[in-house]
Every structure is written in C-alpha cells, then in structure tokens.
Amino acid sequence: MHLLGNSLGGLVSLLVASRRPDLVATLTLVSPAMPVYRVPPAFSRALLLLLVPGIPSLAARRMGAITPEQNVRAMIRMCFGEPGRVPPERVDQAVQEMRERVEQPWAGHALTRSMRGLITSYLRVGAANAWRAARTLRPPTLVLWGARDRLVDPSMAPRLASVVPDARLAVLERVGHVAMLEAPEVTARAVLGLVEDAAACRELHAAVDEPPSVRR
C-alpha cells in the first residue's frame, strides 16, 4: 500500500511502516507528530488539562463552555498557514460536524485517550521510540511540512528527513499543519512523484534480477 498520514496519523504511519515494511510500498509523512518535549504555543491550555490525572472533568467543563463555532475557528487559526483562505461554506460544514461530534457520548473519552496516547508515545525508549523507528524505515519516504506549521515545529522537517534513509523533503511556504488541505495539488504531485519513482525503481530491480534466459 501507499501509506500517507498527517499529524498523529503521520506518527502512526511511521510506526506501522517501521514494524511492517513488507506492507508499505511508499510512505508520506505530512507534519507528523514526532516526539518533542515542549508544548507548542498554539496548544489549548484546556486541552492540556485532559492529560492530568484526576481533572479531566474540569477540562471537559472548560472546553464545554466553548461553542462549536469558536472551537472550529480556533482550530483553523491553529492549523492553517493562511486561515482567511478557508471558504465560509467549509467553516459552516466544520461547525455542523463539530456540533454532531460533541453530542456523541464517546467524544470526550476519545479525545482524552488520543491525547494521552500521543504523550505516552513520546516517553517510549528503545525500538519503540519514533525517532529510533524512523532510522529503520525501508520504504521510499516523503517528508512534507508547512513552513507556517504552528503545531509541529517546521524545524523538525530537515531533522526527520536526515534520519529516514534516502527520504525526500518538501517544505511548503505559506502552508500550516494540513498541507493536503491547504495545497492539495502540490501535495498530490509530490506524492505521485514518489509513487511513480518507486514503481520505476522496482521495475528496474526486477529486470536486473531476472535470469538471462528469461530476459531473452
């Protein structure tokens, strides 16, 4: 498969590719949530309370006081390099989606578990550490980052690309945390280039490995 992941999905994709390289033809990491040991300035303080044992209910109450529209607009400011370019109709759709989500009984629990799982992954050592896993990646890999990413520091992009064997690096100007939404055509071309080059490389290796009698 051609595996792509953004943010937490990028971290998950990296770990999957490191553990099951036989399943992954190419790997694309869009602003992956690699372990860092500081809190991004854009991060919600109320969200951070979810990580503290014993007070998730307090965090839930504080976050519950935020309307779906306020929540969505805050997320857009946090995730997009140019928030003003998000179409109004897309904002309306996101607000409606947020309303439906917060009404689900599992919503708060899922958010808490996801955040705690992310932080827990940062504390892993040895082969389970994401930076250590990145060094073992075998699939052709594209590291794609937005230069205006407020959630995951863009300075980590060249670091990650230097750790992953033979990785490609693309840093997009005026783009934030979600390049596939902000610059979909550029992102698609970069991914397609990776896929096509990987396929051509596999064909070349197959031709070289064929016995002479088969080639004739």
pLDDT at 86: 95
Both structure tokens of 17: 């590719």
Structural domain that includes position 100: 1-216
Percent of the chain with pLDDT over 90: 62
Which pLDDT score is estimated for 196?
96
Q: Note the pTM of the prediction, 2 decimals.
A: 0.83
Q: What pLDDT, on the 0 to 100 scale, is given for residue 185?
A: 98
**Residues of the chain below pLDDT 70:** 37-65, 125, 210-216
Give the pLDDT of residue 126: 74
- Domain total for the chain? 1
CATH code of residue 18: 3.40.50.1820
Return the pLDDT at 60: 55
